[in-house]
């Protein structure tokens, strides 16, 4: 039907489908996509920093343990386990995160004071207070994906992969 030629009616009906598919796109999806363009400048800035990659995710750990037969148990377990733990590691610094219902608890390892920043895809940057032993809290739990940058007393800066909770 789509090769060689379309009849007028087929062509009009295809155009109708194309317009319908376009209307089904949530408006926020396109707007957010356009807004992400500003991320380019931040991205360029981040490439100079040390990257901290995800080395542990309690969810991934669970998923690895979960066989086909136990997949129905996943929902049950989730209701009991409120916490998710994540670790991001670079050579000289690890960032450990624990997700709770009302926030994300963070710990820099080795413990040290630093400046921590939450970067969002819309290019907003929020400073997070860090205590002298490297504790910090993100509250509430971020609803969109984010990256953390840590500017250490030594002058070094570390940035995590994207984090999606």
Partner 1 sequence: MTTVATAAQGGSHLVADLVARALQGDDRAWGALVARYAPLVTSVCRRHRLDEADTLDVAQGVWLSLLEHLGSIREPAALPGWIATTTRRECLHLLTGKGGRQRAELVGEVDGATIDLTEQLDDMIVQAERHAALLEALADLPPQHQQLVVLLIHDPPLAYAEIGRQLDMPIGSIGPTRQRCLEKIRNHPAVAPLLESPARPAHR
Interacting residue ranges for partner 1, rule: CB under 8 A: 2-6, 8, 11-19, 21-22, 24-26, 28-30, 32-34, 36-37, 39-40, 43, 59-60, 63, 68, 71-78, 84, 121, 144-145, 162, 164-165
Q: Give the residue with the Cβ less far from partner 1, 69 or 132.
A: 69
Residue partners of 117: CB distance under 8 A and separation at least 6? 125, 126, 127, 128, 148, 149, 150, 151
Instruction: Considering the complex, state which of residue 108 and residue 119 has its C-beta at the smaller distance from partner 1.
Output: 119
Dihedral of CA atoms 68, 99, 163, 76 in degrees, nearest 10, equals 20
Helix (H, G, I), strand (E, B) or coil at 131: coil
CB of 68 to partner 1, least distance (A): 7
C-alpha R_g of the chain: 22
Q: Which is nearer to partner 1, 1 or 155 (CB)?
A: 1
């Amino acid at each position: 039907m789509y090769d060689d030629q379309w009849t007028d009616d087929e062509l009009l009906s295809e155009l109708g489908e194309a317009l319908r598919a376009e209307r089904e796109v949530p408006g926020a999806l396109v707007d957010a996509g356009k807004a992400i363009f500003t991320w380019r400048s931040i991205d360029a800035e981040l490439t100079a920093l040390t990257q901290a990659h995800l080395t542990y995710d309690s969810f991934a750990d669970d998923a690895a343990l979960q066989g086909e037969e136990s997949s129905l148990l996943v929902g049950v377990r989730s209701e009991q386990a409120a916490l998710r733990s994540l670790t991001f590691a670079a050579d000289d610094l690890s960032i450990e995160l624990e997700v709770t219902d009302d926030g994300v608890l963070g710990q820099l390892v080795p413990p040290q004071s630093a400046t921590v920043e939450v970067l969002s895809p819309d290019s907003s940057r929020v400073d997070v207070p860090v205590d002298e032993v490297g504790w910090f809290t993100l509250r509430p739990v971020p609803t969109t994906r984010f990256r953390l940058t840590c500017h250490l007393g030594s002058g070094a800066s570390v940035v995590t992969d994207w984090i999606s909770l």
